[in-house]
Structure 1
Amino acid sequence: MGDAAGVGPEIILKSLMNADVYEWCRPLVIGDAKILENAKRVVDGEHLTIQPISDVREGKFRLGNVPCIDLNLLPEDLPLGEVSAVSGDAAYQFLAQAIELAKKGDIQAICTAPLNKEALHLGGHKYPGHTEILAQLTDTKDYAMMLSAPELKVIHVTTHVGLIDAVKQINPDRVYSVIKMAHETLKKAGNEQPKIAVCGINPHAGENGLFGYGEEEEKVIPGVERAANEGIDVQGPLPADTLFFRAVRGDFDIVVAMYHDQGHGPIKVLGLDAGVNITVGLPIIRTSVDHGTAFDIAGKGIADEKSLIEAIRQGVELAPKSFDV
């Protein structure tokens, strides 16, 4: 459910009023049933039945019925649009429960609504975001954030750190690892020989030492060459200011961005409702909306559910198709 004080509950219910979702999968909410009951009133969802359950097998998966693993952690009168420790802690507990169910095989993919990092910290969980929680609770050391939109896919070498720290963290091993994860992820999705492009760190990718202090030569090029020597179709480092245009045009299947805003900016220019966040490298499938909690419009019923529907769809595409539940 993400942070229940944000738009998560309402975009969840809007998504589960879409019949296509039930054609793709058996959707299950992990969160708080009374919060969903409250959200029904703001999304014209009075026809929905919220079904509180404690076990996945109790769920009735049909349009109009919303099964919810009810952790019952929140007050019924939780203020919307406000940062709070109780909603931050609950958002963490919802995700931790989802991870446990995925590890047991009771669910085949996790799709996360947005959380608020300040609330998460107030709730006692000092993580930069969902991705880092997922990595720690699954004992995953090597992972990356991938953003996927209809016209563009981007995977990140660094994410939620300041720019100076990001440059410090970039190194050939990490660049190689992210290229390899991008290659393997797209291969699993059916692209036998994906074309990968790698951004430079500096303007014009350093322009042979004209900009920066040789970061491309030291930190990026050895990783690119290692991947290319293994037969991966990769080019770079290339100037980011033209690379994203070329990728949208179709020259490349995915772009490796060096830091958060270098990769997020181009995706969000394509539309806040178009992008999906996928954590690559985990032992479980996780997708997410690529927008925040939108506290300013929480409870107004106007939040757009398109990104969540697309995240569900991509989660289904990536998930295993055989299971016992």
Structure 2
Amino acid sequence: MGPGLEQLPWRGPGPGRPELPLPPGPMPVLGAGRRLRKRWRYVAAFADEFLICAARVQVGPVGQTFWAVVDREKGEMLERTRIRPPFGRGQVWSEFEGGRPWPIGSDEAGAITRLEAGDVKAKLRIGEGRWAESICPNGEGGYVWTRKRVAKIDCDVRLPGGRRFQVEARGIEDESAGYHPRHTVWSWSAGVGTSADGRAVGWNLVSGVNDPERNSERAIWLDGELLEPDPVDFDDELTGIDFADGSRLEFEAEAERQAAQNLGLVRYSYRQPFGSFSGSLAGIQLESGAGVMEFHDAVW
């Protein structure tokens, strides 16, 4: 086991961060076992009027952007996935005010994620929130780093026909980088809501990646306090999530992204529905909730 790996899994932020190549510093393109470095930044906001996600992904030499906007009043979704040319900006990028590029893993404040795709444009200004950071072994002598946080997001979203949303929503910020196994299969959910007793709730739940019993990326934010729930089980049809304490989070889809693509070096298929949540989040009864579910099968 290499230097730093014996400390894994590790959860932060905080003291004792393993001495490994990690964001915001550089990471080798190839890790142990010649595993390709994968990295992405995904931002989503969940409002009464709309649900939006925008992401930028890099797997070895292959770059991609994707985005989706669900107009909840109309029951319509616009979405697009595009391969990003080498050194090209693509349709989704993140920056500071003034245009300086946002580096994954930055400790600075003021991240803005932008989307420009024809008549669809968005500016998502992310506020402050408490990060849940996790570094987990990949089972092959390498590791995967990720951090997530729930935050307020100032949204300016423009859609075809002059439709525009300018609201403050809550959402999730997800940054990941590491050397996932060549074949990785996982289920994931993120969302925000209000508990039955009026507290602000957010979550990041996963099975299949970064999911040891402790020091995982699983996180629940309750009025800003950060909790790590026990491992969870996802329904095969993405209709709910079961918790170790017997509670269950129910999901009702409103719209869904899905695709399967073979790019040679990289192959993947996924489902990513957006919608509303009800039920209990590790014993926390929800009054309302909105967010995303995902099943992903990737050879990369």
Is the structural similarity TM-score above 0.5? no
Q: Return the index of the structure with the highest Cα Rg.
A: 1
Q: TM-score, normalised by structure 2?
A: 0.28
Q: TM-score, normalised by structure 1?
A: 0.27
Decide which structure has greater helix share.
1
| More relative contact order, 1 or 2 (CA 8 Å, 6+ apart) | 1
Decide which structure has greater strand share.
2
